[in-house]
Chains A and B, each alone.
Chain A
Amino acid sequence: MRGRVVVKPGLVVEGATVLIRNGRIQDVLPKEKKGIPADARVWDMQGKTIYAGFIDPYLSLGENKATPVSNRWIVPIEARAGISFKGVPTTREDLGGKGPGYEIAEIHPQQQVSDGFTPNAKAFAELRELGFTAANFIPNKGIIRGSSALALLGDGDPNQLLLRPQTLQHIALEPAKDYPHSLMGVIAAIRQTVLDARHHQEMKTWSQRNPNGPRPKYNPALESLDSVLRATDKQRVAVEAGSVLMTARMAKLAGNMEFDPVIVATGQEWRRPETLQQYKLPYIMPVAFPAAPDLPEEQDWDQVSLDQLRAWDWAPEVPALLAKNKRAFSFTLHGLGDRNSFRKNIQQAIQRGLSADVALAALTTEPAELLGAEADLGTIEKGRLANLTIVDGDSWFNPDQPVSSVWIEGRHYVNDPREKKEKDSGEADVPNEPTRRAAKIPGDYRGALKGAANILILDATVWTCGPSGVITNASIRIEDGRIAAIGPEIGAPIPFDGIIIDAKGKHVTPGLIDCHSHSMILGGVNEATLPSTAMVRIADVVNSETENIYRQLAGGLTTANLLHGSANPIGGQNAVVKLRYGAMPDEMIFSKAPAGIKFALGENVKQSNWGDKKTTRFPQTRMGVKTFFINRFTAARQYLAEQRAHRVSGPPVRRNLELDALGEILKGERLIHCHSYRQDEMLVFLRTMERFGIRVGSLQHVLEGYKIADEIAAHGAGASSFADWWAYKFEVYDAIPYNGTLLHERGAVVSFNSDSSDLARRLNLEAAKAVKYGGTSETEALKFVTLNPAKQLGIDRWVGSLEVGKDADFVVWNGHPLDTQTLCDETWIEGKQYYDRAKSDARFDAMAEERAALLSKIQKMKPNENAGLTARAAFFRRALEKAHTLNNCYECRKAKP
């Protein structure tokens, strides 16, 4: 055939001839060159453009097609426990799903799309109309979903069409019905599965050498992961994480777990463009752009947030953003409600800065490479399959030029010449305005405001919260983020090269520390399914994007203990973070903080307020709570013993992430922070832990702690209380605001925490309540929100007081820190300023201005009446990072799930 041949992106040969024989490209002859074989049938492609056939690397068809990973993580209240322990010994009869496999039904890597592959003539014809000649068919459900299959989109039987029967493995961060039902649970389950797969291989090797030892169990799920985990020639894994932060999490996890990921883009990469540089991974790029909504009244736009407007404005520019950051990517129809908008959306992406060559690569060479099919697909070169896409005109990127036919393995498929559709059913808004972006990125409004290696604070009233007490007219010198000198007389070089803070008339305190927070957690605070979820980690799901960070910095908070919820006796692992707003989640982690874990007692764990149906999970009583702890710690002891034994001899021990965490507690390497209310349950808990030689890190809430203050002090557990909450549940009817003072007077280390994204903004005033109720001294009261929580978290060597050598985390107040009339002027972490009240209004004014610009842009655009539902839904999709539900008090809401 002769025509305008786009051999590959960037190489166009006008009037060239493509020679096809036996379904393969035999040659591409330039215009001048002769050599058309005599037996060849000649197709004249005058006025047409010939592309290599397009490939969709991430396609799902039919009624049960895969939907994009949802951000709707809910706090589950289901009480089913499908996994192998229930706190009491049981025999498993099923493995979640039917037949052999992994113990979590949603983890089925052994499944293969090719096994059930059935050509779908009608759907294939529609795909060919867009120019597609091959597609990689993906599995539609589950967490580890199985292998996809690359097939040609022609007529024929499955044997003929399947080009690569096993291409990618697939992971999607979606909740299971039972465990794992939270985002952190899903990640924990993936981590455990990979460990299990490695163990499975070790077991097989071991048993070959030890034929008389235990027999390795049959497990097709784990077997199938071998191809993903082996040292060379790995099967790639397509990861659909559903959010930008989780994409980064999975990229990092892939590095640790040694698998080779391909990222399914969220379309929101603008939230953290730097992650595109950090992990140099290939992407699969859906082009489902949000459509502007049609709202009944002008006033209804008040409901639309800046974040939604940004997501709308950014979407068409994300492909260009990926290209700018040198990320290879392939386009896919995935998530697109109306396929007819595919070309229009790509056209829009080109208008927003994507080069047509890169766009073409994303349809041809990139997906071919991604799927390991570059020998057969992707370019019009000798030896490739004769998969060609023919456009009437000079460019596929002009949606008005139809794809008149495609060739698949040398066979010609003519597309029905369609009438130009009466209704324009394009999904996105085809802009009738200049396409300049009005949206900025979150990074424009956050990050350290200033900082210097040398900082000098002059003339302040300094509440050291250390042995020096309160020092008036004091100075502090800071070097490299640490306190170098503090006192009324300190030496400082003149002139001083650095930042000088004149704090005359002001008070300086250590940065406040919240020992109980849920303010920065993604995808569910509770993994509420199992009675022990010690394997889940808050550190996997820290939300660095929430405005809560700024709001709490504005109240002087610098460190927070992010805790799993209290839905189960043994909850997840906590994460202590510093509020370094702007940093990625892993950079917020207080890396020196000892590991910790959330435990819980009482009404929440026995599901008292979960409704009348939730009565089957063990435990349902305080009796059972204690029993459960004894069971789990006994199991953990045995597990540690097995591990020790294996070091001498014996089969490889399966690493169990739940027992790992409990084992760390036994070894004194992980602190328990235990949600608790009643005196009896707390005392029993302390005694139970003492039996196992465990010192409890802190009792959280500890509202009847005042009744057993001596015992708590003697055990050495910290007491982290609310200042004055009470009466929201029966077990807090005896909560009194004197709790802090009474515990403190009897020698316990007491802190006041927030458990509320609002209250965390004024912990200094909560501390004042210890003065009010019972008369704790002001210096001791301030320690309730500084040094004492630091002690409870085991971080008091670095933070909690202003002493030489400690981190320069401090707050400048415009008055006495316990006075209601005092405001936080500045908040600093490690010598960097993160909040300045004087600059705060300008920040919000700029955001309001950005929103106004976006609003004017979107309102000028005539609403696209025909925009598909999916595109309109996409507009209102709240990003996972912005889907906070815990606006106010967590504990009081929890009473009624």
Chain B
Amino acid sequence: MPKGQTMKLVIVYLVASVGLVAETVLYQAAAIHTADRGTIENGQLLVQGNRILAVGKQVQAPPNTKTVNLGELQLYPGLIAAATSLGLTEINAVRATQDTTEVGEFTPDVEAWISVNPDSELIPVARANGYTHALVAPLGGVVTGNSGLIKTSGWGVEDMTVKPRAALHIMWPVLSINPVPKSALRNPEKFKSPKDQAREREKKLRTLDQFFDQAEAYAKAREAHGDQEDFNTVPAWEGTLEAIGGRQPIMVHANYERQITSAVAWAKRRGYRIIIAAGLDAWRVADLLAKEKVPVVLDNVFRLPQRDTDSHEVNFRAANVLHKAGVKVVHSVRMGNWGATEVRNITYAAARSMAYGLPRETALQSITLHPAEILGVEKQLGSLTAGKEATFIAVDGDLFDIRSNVKHMWIAGKPVSLESRHTRLYEKYKNRPKPKAVQR
């Protein structure tokens, strides 16, 4: 984009932010990738205040509409990182900066979004590559707590929270056994026979089930009491109410086939709505997941194969296998610090799946519309559609091409800065004068 246009944009922003009446702006772009109605070449996006009024080749604009010509830029919906530790961690090796992982097996009353550090340097870095939203989820024991959806720009936690209690999270018990005999263990005193371990894993699943039996009993009692004040609320059970009431999904973090099948059977029996996250082996049970309408948040595209007979491409192909079977696929990064620093690269995991057959439209949906849908915010977010929030990004090329850059971002109609620690340091040292010592 020529420099003059950047200036024009800045002026438009100023006008928009001081206007008392919701401004109407018409954005003209080389392409508008709606994520639900395909791509409109040389299209227009009409925004009033924080809403999209219309999207099309040539839209009807009311009088006094400002027109912003974005030239060669292409518009995409704001990108959504589906399950992350963004904002809960700063520097992996510095313990004081970690708020990712709570202690305890069953802590459904833990709420992740409230601990987001709004000034985390990791957030603007994610934003700079198009991520307008992130689901911030807790790590910990088994039932780890509730996640919340945040936007990646705002003055503080309350301002940034888009949807508290977006999902309840379960780290599904590991069901593999350690078959190594006692004599070969480094700590032989920790030995448990395979049969004992098999019993133990049954017990883990039973305990989980019992936990939800109790939660349901509590929910029933609570409902019977209505809003009577004499009811003693229990914060832990309160944390499960939305999920067991079906108003909120349960995100089950599980990698291995038998964990996934066990979680799906469990959810079916209990009538819960689940999402599989991590999902290394999900493609192996794609048909089951499709049949039970369980979406999958994949965080394993860039991971070495698990089995020594797996193709080196196994995880690159997974998304398309799931998609072809009819499973709704979301791309994300792993939970924890490393993933939080890597949110900006989720796009390229989706690109990798695309290189292995995932249709372009689906790849885009996997980081926009699909996460919005599974988190229940599809009415506001996830696609460029009339009536939805005007949250979108302008890219100077194909979003899925690493060489492209996000040039502008709007969240709810308002332009958002793409500056970050990285761009600031870049600008500073780009302009460092040549030191005397090396001027020979």
Residue numbers of A with Cβ under 8 A of B are: 72, 293-297, 299-300, 302-303, 305-307, 337, 547-548, 550-551, 554, 603, 608-609, 706-707, 709-711, 713-714, 724-730, 733-734, 736-738, 742, 757-759, 761, 765, 768-769, 771-774, 778, 818-823, 840-841, 844, 847-848, 850-851, 869-870, 872-873, 876-877, 882, 887-889, 892, 895-896
Contacts and interface: CB of A to CB of B under 8 A. Distances in A.
A769 B402 contact: yes
Nearest to A882: B308
Contacts of A768: 401-403
A844 B425 contact: no
B60 interface: no
A463 B351 CA distance: 23
Contact of B309 (A730, A844, A882): A844
A608 B94 CA distance: 10
B351 A737 contact: no
Instruction: Give 7 closest A-B pairs by Cβ, nearest first.
Output: A873-B184, A296-B198, A820-B351, A768-B402, A714-B438, A895-B93, A728-B92
Given A554-B312, A822-B355, A774 B426 contact: yes
A821 B179 contact: no
Contacts of B344: 724
Interface string B393-429: 0000000111111000000000000000110011001
A840 B352 contact: no
A279 B351 CA distance: 49
B434 interface: yes
B122 A869 contact: no
A654 to B, nearest CB: 38
A297 B341 CA distance: 40
Nearest to A711: B438
Interface in B56-95: 90-94
A821 B303 contact: no
B93 A877 contact: no
Given A771-B402, A823-B355, A728 B93 contact: yes
Contacts of A550: 312
A761 B312 contact: yes
B312 A551 contact: yes
Contact of A728 (B91, B309, B422, B435): B91
B435 A726 contact: no
A722 to B, nearest CB: 11
B237 interface: no
A765 B122 CA distance: 22
Nearest to B195: A296
A498 to B, nearest CB: 29
Contact of A711 (B197, B340, B341, B437): B437
B287 interface: no
Contacts of A896: 92-93
Contacts of B310: 844
B405 to A, nearest CB: 6
Contact of A707 (B304, B312, B432): B432
Interface of B: 90-94, 121-122, 125, 176-177, 179-184, 186, 194-195, 197-198, 257-258, 302-305, 307-313, 337-338, 340-341, 344-345, 348, 351-352, 354-355, 400-405, 421-422, 425-426, 429-430, 432, 434-435, 437-438, 440
A730 B94 CA distance: 7
Given A302-B257, A847-B308, A872 B181 contact: yes
Contact of A727 (B91, B355, B432, B435): B91
Contacts of B91: 727-730, 733
Contacts of B351: 820-821
A870 B185 CA distance: 11
A554 B304 CA distance: 12
A300 B258 CA distance: 9
B341 to A, nearest CB: 5
Nearest to B438: A714
B303 A888 contact: yes
A305 B307 contact: yes
Contact of B429 (A337, A706, A772, A822): A706
Contacts of B197: 296
A887 B425 contact: no
Contacts of B305: 551
B122 A727 contact: yes
Nearest to B440: A714
Q: Which of A293, A820, A869, A892 has the most CB of B within 10 A?
A: A820
B181 A724 contact: no
B258 A892 contact: no
B341 A844 contact: no
Given A713-B438, A742-B426, A758-B303, A869 B183 contact: yes
B360 to A, nearest CB: 9
Nearest to A822: B355
A765 B176 CA distance: 35
A43 B421 CA distance: 95
B131 to A, nearest CB: 14
B429 A303 contact: no
A513 B397 CA distance: 28
Contacts of A729: 91-94
B180 A873 contact: yes
A353 B198 CA distance: 39
B373 to A, nearest CB: 25
B425 A736 contact: yes
Contact of A771 (B90, B121, B403): B403
A210 B429 CA distance: 64
Contacts of B354: 820-821
B309 A303 contact: no
Contact of B181 (A72, A609, A733, A873): A873
Nearest to B405: A772
Contacts of B432: 707, 710
B51 to A, nearest CB: 32
Nearest to B439: A710
B98 to A, nearest CB: 11
A772 B348 CA distance: 13
Nearest to B314: A844
A758 B348 CA distance: 14
A706 B22 CA distance: 44
A888 B303 CA distance: 7
B278 to A, nearest CB: 14
Contacts of A876: 179-181, 184
A727 B92 contact: yes
Given A821-B354, A844-B311, A895-B92, A772 B184 contact: no
9 contacts: A296-B194, A714-B437, A727-B92, A736-B422, A738-B422, A820-B354, A873-B180, A882-B308, A887-B303
B434 to A, nearest CB: 5
Q: Which of A733, A736, A850, A889 has the most CB of B within 10 A?
A: A736
Contacts of A734: 421, 425
Contacts of A758: 302-304
A889 B303 CA distance: 10
A842 B181 CA distance: 36
B368 to A, nearest CB: 17
Given A736-B425, A841-B311, A726 B341 contact: yes
Contacts of B307: 305-306
Given A303-B177, A772-B403, A892-B92, A851 B309 contact: yes
A778 B186 CA distance: 51
